[in-house]
Each structure stands twice: as structure tokens, then as C-alpha cells.
Chain A
């Protein structure tokens, strides 16, 4: 559903929908899933996607670009990253934003601009700064972290990103339809399936293409394998960072089993080419079902053994418990989503709105908000996803591989899709012009909103806790930098 509102009513329309008080319609309070803008001549076209009770509403307005955009971050802090991005991508002045800093140094300036990042400074006789990155000590993507500390205690952490900016959205908009799916698969390689599925849903909406239940099931199978595989990778990393070698090696080899299963299904350990618009992109017959079943048997047997060992270890409990806390109130305020949000009591998982595929699924919520809570959410989600996959195997579902062509896209329309990847909501919005050509493509990785959660959770903690906090969030650099 798309609602156009006049510029003068924009602020009220948006704040009304996210207000805590129940509006007369009886709707629950809404949440801004994404907000972005694009230039159209002298005008700024702003789009917000709002979720209320599982229903998505697209709220839009247009205003003269010269008038600028009035920030709402003071009232709704969860909007801060969206408005910074809007400013960076459209060049339109955003007034009243308390933290209007570069998000990814998109367009112009390049290195010279990156060196002039306006770091927040803390002054005092014993205050010192620790700069880390952009290149880190492991085989990992780049990003710059600056800690302002008093002794070992962190007063403030600021995160400068943008090093990975490759111009994904510009390339998606360039009109080469051959490249759409391969490109979205590389937005964040660890979320290949989530992005490919979101893209497929958005373009199928625009093309008016309905897909079979088997098509959607084929995507969900790969997505749950992606979730289990990446949660295991996160747990392996966390175990490494706290020196728990048995956890590191065991979670690592269990992930191998999972991603090798994805490879058996679609030829790629990352689910590449496993999702294509219109039809199932891989066959799921007796061979594939058998491969999945034997992987599930192994995982069902071995995962609980290492989980039990890991969680019952006093040193693990001590190292993760109470570290890097984001309270439920703070999580709600800053719009934390995905695993990090659920570990801070946020009851958000887009899969619950797909009861056709995920009957009986409930978000795995933990109240603690610390590193241990984020660990437990991952463990519980692995367990739930394995159970879901087992049910698919037992249902004897199967499908052949098929190839579908996506016809012309509807003119002057917008396709919006939200998929719950392993990290959280992956959002794809595609808009066409009057001729049906793509005029805008907006991509959003959940890391965009969640990096602030990481920055806030280390405040007041020891600087040596940072690697654990970072790993417990396991956010994407390239997904945010695009």
C-alpha cells in the first residue's frame, strides 16, 4: 500500500504512525523499516516504509529540494542513519539533525574526504584515544574505530565506515538487467540468499509475476542454511575471541557441513545462483533431500553437544555475561533489529509474517541485551532453523529446476520486499518510471541501523571487551557501505 502525503503533512504523517499511542484505527505503533530519498529535478522524493502489525505501508512525499529536509531524529532517534544517508545521497540539506556525519563517503571527495572525518572528541587530562583500523588484525573487512578512553574504560566509541563503498546501488540502477541478481548476491556475501530473495520478491511485485509455493520454499531452504551457517561462523568467531578453542574448532567444522550442503543443492557454498526471480533455481529431488537429511542428522546430533559444553563453561559465562549491554528501552529507541534487537527484548522477526512458509515460528527473544544474550539467540535460532529444515525433508517436498522470464515492469510503481536474513531485515525497494524503467534501487542491510548499537554497548566497559562485543553483533561492513 502506497500513500502519498503533501510535504506540509509529512512530519505529522510519519510521527503519527510511529507514535506509541494507539491511533483511532486500532493499529499498533508503527516502526520505520527504511526511509530514503532521491532527486527528481528540483524536487526531493522521500519514501518511508512503515511496518505496523506485520503490514507494510509505503509513505511518500515530494518537496522542493532547495527547501531542505527537516530532521526528525531528535524525536525518533531510530531515523538517524536514514537521514544521514538521505543527505549524503541527495545532497539536500537536512536541518536539525544532531549527528549529521558522513555515512559511507559516497560520491566525490574520496580519500581526501575520508581523512577529514569529523571525529567526536573528548577532552580531559587523562583522556586518551585509541584508533583501530581500517585494516584489522584478522581476515576481515575494513572499518575505522576510535575509542575515547579514561584508562581502560571506554567513554565513547565512534565508528567510521565507507571503505567498502563500491557503488552497488548506482550499478543496480544502471539498467543492465543481466547483472541484477549477481550484483545483489554480492551486497553482503554472507547474506547472499537474503538479498537475492528480497530482490526476487521486489522485481516479481513490479512485474506482476506470481510464484509457486515450491519457488518460495526453495528460497527459504537456502536462507535457513545461510542462517545456520553464519550463526555457526559467529559462534566460532566468538569462541576464538575468548580463547575457547574447542568451541572455535567445533563450530567452524559444523559450518563446513552446512555450507557444503548449500553447495550440494545449488553449486555454491554461499547459495549463489540458488535464487532467481520467477522459479526455483535449483532442483530438490531425492538426492538433494538425502544430502540435506544426512547433514541435518549430523548437526542435530553434534550442535547440542558443543552448545552444552560452551554455555556450561563458567569462564564463557563470566566472559560474555553482563558485557556489552543494550537495554530493551535503548534498543527500541535506536531501532535495533535482527539478532541484536531480539537479544535486547525486541520481538521482531520478519519470518513471522510469512506463516505460509514458517508456520508456528516465534521470534527468539532474550531480555538480557548482553553478549551472552546475543550468543543464546544465535544458538536458539540454529536449533529452530534445523527443526524447520527437518520438517521440509519430512514433508517430502520437492521441485524441479525451472527458468522463468520476468516480463516488463509495471510503470510508475514501487516494489518493496523485506527478508529476515541471519543478521536481520534485508530491505530492497525498486521503483520504475513512467516507461517501466528502473529509476531507483534502494538496498538496506540491517547493519545500517545496528552499528550504533555496537558503539553504545561498549560505553563504560573495558576496551578489551570490544572484540567480543563486535563479534557478538557480527555486523556487515560491505552491507552498510554498499
Chain B
């Protein structure tokens, strides 16, 4: 009993009071592209980017491919890239994930999803080649710090109880049937969310012959949450914006 009280005393209050205004210290999040011109003929960022996420003329980063390694910020001779701690990175479409000078990704509210799921949303997570980093961050949403249950959002064990299928990993051929089975078991209305560079674009595994991404062509994700892995707050902002929750 006394030991239990000691733990309680040490625990204090651990929840993040406002997930919408929290800024993770040190987090390499939303990149900004400055207006300063590139050095003449310089393409070093595009050449060195490990996931070919950068385009030039004008300079743009595809957050669907970016692993947030920070290399472009480090090597750009003109200082065009700055990674900020802003966790708001998600978008509804692949085009929405392209960051340019003065352009930020944003998630528009979906009126139908907001009406149906705005106050209660059950999610089933399926990893299909995920490296356990995205999975751990999604798990962290339910810990005492992030406590996403405060918004009526919960992870459920069975796809039969789920409204949304949250996919991580590049979608391996060896998981193809299992992903399909989980989706088929979910009742309508239902939707898919892709979490992490792997799920969104294949990420570092793009083009690997071991993948089978046909499922995403048939069940198009309504929400793309970038990162490698995404910070829990990135997911929180994305899903709340989709549902129009303040």
C-alpha cells in the first residue's frame, strides 16, 4: 500500500495538457524552404537524398518519401532547408505532402467522417513490413502522456470493431492476404489511413520486389501521416483535423 502511494506520488500528472499546442523539443519535424536562391546549378540535395524526396525548380520536398534524416538541411550550401519542431505534417493526398517555399501541408475536415466519427473513433492497426518504430509511436498515443482516448479515439483488437484501418510498413507481399482479410472484416463506413513514409510511398523500400501494394490502389487512404516514424503528435493533429475536432 505504501509502495503504491510512493509510485502515485512520483507519478504526479503526466498527461500533455493540450496536444494541439504542444511542440516536441528537438523534434525534426515540418521542413521549411527559404526564399533564398539556390547556388547556380547546384543539385546536391536532390542527388544526396536517400529517398529521392527532393525536386528542384522550384525546390520541394515530398513528405510522403522523406525520412526526416535532415541531410538536406546539413548539406545545402544556400541554407534553403530548415526542419522545425512543428509536428503538423499530414495531408489528404500525395500532392498535399509536397512542401514548397511558403507552402505547408494541411488536412481538410471531411464532413461525412466528422459527422460519423467525430466523437468516437475505433482504429485497427495493421503492420505490413513496418519496422516497429511506427507501431511503437502509435502505441504511445494511448499512454498516459498523449492519452488520445480523451478524444474518443481508441485502438481495438478486432477489425470487426474498427472504423479505420491504420496501415504501417511498405506492404509486403507476404502480408497481402492478411491485410485484405482485415479490411474485408471491417463494417462500413470504414476508411484507411497510411502512417509513415513506408506505407505512404514505399519509402526506403520503394521498388523492392518483395512488396505488393495493390491494396492501396483499391482502398485509397483518406489520410497520409508522414514521418519515419511520425511523432504521436503528428498523428493526433492529422486525425483531429480530418474529423474537425478543435
Instruction: Using CB atoms and an 8 Å cutoff, list the residues of chain A in contact with chain B.
Output: 104-106, 110-111, 114, 134-135, 137-142, 162-167, 170-171, 176, 178-179, 181-183, 186-190, 192, 233, 236, 246, 249-250, 252-253, 256, 260, 263-265, 267-270, 272-273, 301-302, 305-306, 308-309, 312, 403, 476-478, 481
Surface stretch bound by A, among B34-42, B108-116, B130-138, B236-244: B130-138
Known: A179-B204, A252-B143. A269 touches B135 (CB 8 A): no
Residues of A near B208 (CB, < 8 A) are 166-167, 170-171
Q: Give residues of chain B (144-176) contacting chain A, Cβ–Cβ below 8 Å.
A: 144-145, 155, 157-158, 169-170, 172-176
B135 and A267 within 8 A (CB): no
B156's closest neighbor in chain A, by CB?
A: A137
- Which of B44-52, B55-63, B97-105, B217-225 contacts the other chain? B44-52
Q: Contact check, A166 vs B205: say whether CB atoms are below 8 A apart.
A: yes
Give, as a whole number of angstroms, the nearest-CB distance from B174 to chain A: 5
The answer to the question of B19 belonging to the interface, with a C-beta cut-off of 8 Å to chain A, is no
Partner of A272, one of B68, B140, B175, B212: B68
Known: A110-B173, A250-B11, A267-B26. A166 touches B51 (CB 8 A): no
Question: Is there an interface contact between B143 and A260, defined as CB atoms closer than 8 Å?
Answer: no
Q: Are A264 and B26 in contact (CB under 8 A)?
A: yes
Q: Are A163 and B172 in contact (CB under 8 A)?
A: yes
Smallest Cβ distance from B235 to chain A, in angstroms?
12
Given contacts A186-B133, A250-B11, A263-B27, contact A140 B127 (CB under 8 A): yes
Which of B25, B27, B136, B212 counts the most A-chain CB atoms under 10 A from its CB? B136
Looking at the complex, which one of A104, A170, A309 makes contact with B7 (CB distance below 8 Å)? A309
A186 to B11, Cβ gap below 8 A? no
CB distance from A314 to the nearest CB of B (A): 12
A-B contacts, 25 of them at CB < 8 A, read A106-B210, A110-B212, A111-B176, A135-B178, A138-B139, A139-B125, A140-B127, A162-B174, A165-B173, A166-B211, A170-B208, A186-B198, A192-B133, A252-B140, A268-B28, A270-B133, A272-B228, A273-B69, A305-B10, A308-B3, A309-B6, A403-B74, A477-B132, A478-B129, A481-B174
- B90 close to chain A: CB less than 8 A: no
Report B's interface with A, CB cutoff 8 A.
3-4, 6-8, 10-11, 14, 24-28, 48-51, 67-71, 74, 83, 125-140, 143-145, 155, 157-158, 169-170, 172-178, 181-182, 198, 203-205, 208-212, 228-229, 231
Task: Report which of B11, B126, B198 forms a contact with A253, defined as CB distance below 8 A.
Answer: B11
Give, as a whole number of angstroms, the nearest-CB distance from B144 to chain A: 5
B133 CB, nearest partner CB in chain A, Å: 3
In whole angstroms, how far apart are the Cα atoms of A104 and B210 in the complex?
12
B125 and A188 within 8 A (CB) = no
Q: In the bound complex, do residue A171 and residue B204 qualify as a contact, i.e. CB atoms below 8 Å apart?
A: yes
A110 to B177, CA, bound (A): 10
Known: A139-B135, A142-B178. A264 touches B25 (CB 8 A): yes
Contact A186 B131 (CB under 8 A): yes
Contact of B6 with A305 in the complex, beta carbons under 8 Å = yes
A-B pairs with beta carbons under 8 A, tally: 195
Chain B residues, CB < 8 A from A138: 139, 155, 157
Q: A167-B208, A190-B132, A269-B231 are in contact. Are A246 and B157 (CB under 8 A)?
A: no
Known: A110-B212, A164-B172. 18 other contacts (CB 8 A): A141-B135, A142-B128, A166-B169, A166-B205, A166-B208, A166-B210, A178-B48, A186-B204, A236-B143, A250-B7, A250-B11, A256-B143, A267-B70, A267-B83, A269-B27, A272-B228, A305-B7, A309-B6
A140 to B169, CA, bound (A): 12
For residue B125, which residue of chain A has the nearest CB? A139
Which residues from A are CB-within-8-Å of B125?
139
Give CA–CA (A260, B46) in the complex, Å.
30
* Residues of A with C-beta under 8 A to B71: 273
CB-CB under 8 A from A137, the residues of chain B are 157-158
Contacts of A178 in B (CB 8 A): 48-50
User: What's the nearest-Cβ distance from chain B to residue A396, in Å?
Assistant: 21
A253's closest neighbor in chain B, by CB?
B14
Whether the pair B69, A182 counts as a contact (CB closer than 8 A) is: yes
Once the chains bind, are A183 and B204 in contact (CB under 8 Å)? yes
Task: Please measure, in the bound complex, the distance between the C-alpha atom of A106 and the C-alpha atom of B173, giving whole angstroms.
Answer: 10
Which residue on B lies nearest to A301, using beta carbons?
A: B10
CB-defined contacts of A272 to chain B, threshold 8 Å:
67-69, 228
CB-CB under 8 A for A111 and B69, given A166-B211, A302-B10: no
- The verdict on A268 contacting B129 (CB below 8 Å), with A165-B210, A403-B74 known, is no
Chain B residues with CB under 8 Å of A233's CB are 136
Considering only CB atoms, which chain B residue lies closest to A187 in the complex? Answer: B131
A164 & B169 in contact (Cβ 8 Å cutoff): yes
